[in-house]
């Protein structure tokens, strides 16, 4: 991995971390009941967990496709 790629990855991770922390702090400091805030946080975490799971499934399918294409290329040369 070259320096430009690392810079982009770390910058993206820093951005995502900042968004998550900012959203969490904003919700914790919002003028609403604690029960409502906890419910919102729980829903956000459940949604994020679901999205990550879907992303992982998609990534797994894509990698399987790439591996299969690589096998075909090696065997047939096409």
In whole angstroms, give the CA distance from residue 40 to residue 29.
Answer: 13
11 and 42 in one domain? no
Q: Average pLDDT of the chain?
A: 86
Share of the chain above pLDDT 90, in %: 19
In whole angstroms, give the CA distance from residue 65 to residue 60.
Answer: 9
Residues 14-36 have a mean pLDDT of 85
| Between residues 10 and 32, the one the model is more confident about | 10
In whole angstroms, give the CA distance from residue 63 to residue 65.
Answer: 5
pTM (two decimals) = 0.46
In whole angstroms, give the CA distance from residue 4 to residue 31.
Answer: 42
The closest alpha carbon to 27, from 13, 15, 41, belongs to 41
38 and 71 in one domain? yes
Cβ neighbours around 11 below 10 Å, total:
10
Domain range for residue 69?
Answer: 33-78
64 and 53 in one domain? yes
Give the total number of structural domains in the chain.
2
Question: How do residues 34-70 score in pLDDT, each as one tens digit?
Answer: 788 788 888 988 998 999 989 898 899 899 888 888 8
59 and 37 in one domain? yes
């Amino acid at each position: 991995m070259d320096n430009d790629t690392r810079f982009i990855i770390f910058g993206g991770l820093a951005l995502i971390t900042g968004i998550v922390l900012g959203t969490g702090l904003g919700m914790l400091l919002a003028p609403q009941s604690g029960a409502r805030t906890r419910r919102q946080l729980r829903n956000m975490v459940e949604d994020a967990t679901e999205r990550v799971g879907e992303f992982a499934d998609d990534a797994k399918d894509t990698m399987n496709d790439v591996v299969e294409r690589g096998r075909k290329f090696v065997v047939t040369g096409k």
